[in-house]
Amino acid sequence: QVQLVQSGGGLVQAGGSLRLSCTAPRRTYLNLTMGWFRQAPGQERELVAAISWSGGPAYSADSVKGRVTLTRDHAKNTVFLQMNSLKSEDTAVYYCAAKRRGEKSYEWWGQGTQVTVSS
């Protein structure tokens, strides 16, 4: 069952930008961490970036560091993943997820959205 609603995927040329959004159906709370994962065909799922609702610095994987920005809109219960300078290797299905702070596993997940980067 989809617990988080995603939007913003699509087709973009290499070097372009996309902004993905992830909206919770109910109010979010400060003890949650929001993460973005991606999974390319035949590859394992990897964590791309994460941010806490309570603030503080965001995490980003080395593969996307400097090219992604995480932002939060508390009023809209939404977190955004801004991706710039996209590369073909960024092509994947992107999932947003949420977990309780201090927990290892993400408990709530979005439906996934396809990001395809072409040359």
For the chain, give the mean pLDDT: 92
- Per-residue model confidence (pLDDT) at position 24: 87
pLDDT digit string, tens, across residues 22-65: 998 877 677 889 999 999 999 999 999 999 887 777 899 999 99
Q: State the pLDDT at residue 86.
A: 98
- Print the SS3 string covering 9-77: CEEEECCCCEEEEEECCCCCCCCEEEEEEEECCCCCCEEEEEEECCCCCCEECCCCCCCEEEEEEHHHC
